Amino acid sequence: MTNLSLDAFTADLERLRAEAEQTLADVADEATLEQARIEFLGAKSGRLKLAQKGLGQVAGSDKPAAGRQFNAVKSAVEALFQQAKDRAATGPANVSAETVDVTLPGTPVRFGRLHPLTQTIRRVASIMGHLGFEVVDGPEVEDQWHNFEALAIPAEHPARDPLDNFYISVANSAEPFLLRSQTSTVQIRVMEQRQPPLRIVSLGRVYRPDTADATHYPMFHQVEGLLVEPGTTMAHLKSVLRAFASNFLGGDVHVRFRPSFFPFTEPSVEVDMEWNGRWIEMGGAGMVDPAVLEAVGYDPDEVSGFAFGLGVERIAARRFGVADIRDFYRNDVRFLEQFSDRGQA
């Protein structure tokens, strides 16, 4: 029986395709997907099955064309069904796109931290602050008076040799300036401007013509302490250093003095600290030389004082277990990031 024109068959197929497209686009879950499957792909009376039956009613000469059209629409509907099925499996499109997967690993945030020497400087300043010492700053480019003469190191004094470093000529100045070779310059600057009693601490960079090795570098940091009050003795000096060291390194740190010489202190000592059974040289100290007190206008019969200068790198190396102070300046983040005093600086 041939009673279906090719045009009518084609029109039916196009309607089928359009409706399948619409219905499958609305599929949101397994239930509506199953309904759509039965409607369009059902084996007995699905719309495609019915269209296939219609093919039998098309005139013989039109059959090849009608068959090609049927196959094209069938593949299209099957593809649309597959897409709808995938969507139903992953949930509604907008919801899955907007969902945040809280189980995914986050984007790591890189935490910066302070350089171990900065951490050390802040911690030393904080501890000394608790002992009543005010933090003061001094210039890194100094005149010769503060770096040498006022500290009783005249031009011909041999103590200048290891301290002489990088001179800088300054416009309108007859004398060259230099990078300070010790923070003791700040002792003088403070005493010139203030009257006793004094308790100050100064932390900063100093420069020396040293060859770099595990414990030396041409630039390093010092912490300078100065206390001037009536009745000050070496016992006060030792107590302050011991309190500082015990606080900084933890536990009961012993402090040892060895006789030494500095032009601006009398007597002068080298300061060693014992920690984990080892003695480490930390710096120099002594009673402020009466000649220095006089030079700044103090009366040595009324006041006396002590001063000390410790190496910040040595203190930091001790605390962090660093064997070579050059590592502090190499700027290798893998080294630097190991040291964190968070919350303590």
Contact residues: ligand PHE, CB under 6 A = 182, 184, 262, 265, 283-286, 307-309
- Give the nearer residue to ligand PHE in terms of CB position, either 116 or 311: 311
Quote the least distance from Cβ 265 to ligand PHE, whole Å. Answer: 5
In sequence order, what E strands does the chain have?
A: 134-135, 141-142, 167-168, 177-179, 198-207, 219-229, 254-262, 265-275, 278-288, 304-311
- Give the nearer residue to ligand PHE in terms of CB position, either 257 or 329: 257
Indicate the burial class of 193 (C-beta count within 10 angstroms; 0-12, 13-18, 19 or more).
Answer: exposed
CA dihedral 187, 190, 196, 197 (to 10 degrees): -80
Contact, 263 vs 159, CB < 8 A? yes
Quote the least distance from Cβ 341 to ligand PHE, whole Å. Answer: 25
- Give the nearer residue to ligand PHE in terms of CB position, either 207 or 262: 262
Give the residue nearest to ligand PHE (CB): 309
β-pairing, 141-142 vs 265-275, is unpaired
Quote the least distance from Cβ 130 to ligand PHE, whole Å. Answer: 21
- Give the nearer residue to ligand PHE in terms of CB position, either 119 or 268: 268
SS3 content of the chain, % helix, strand, coil (to 5): 45, 20, 35
Quote the least distance from Cβ 182 to ligand PHE, whole Å. Answer: 4
- Give the nearer residue to ligand PHE in terms of CB position, either 63 or 199: 199
Quote the least distance from Cβ 288 to ligand PHE, whole Å. Answer: 8
- Give the nearer residue to ligand PHE in terms of CB position, either 103 or 211: 211
Quote the least distance from Cβ 184 to ligand PHE, whole Å. Answer: 4
- C-alpha 144/C-alpha 38 separation (Å) is 100
Q: Which residues, at least 6 apart from 255, have a Cβ–Cβ distance to it below 8 Å?
A: 238, 241, 242, 245, 271, 272, 273, 274
Q: How many beta carbons lie within 10 A of that of residue 6, not counting itself?
A: 15
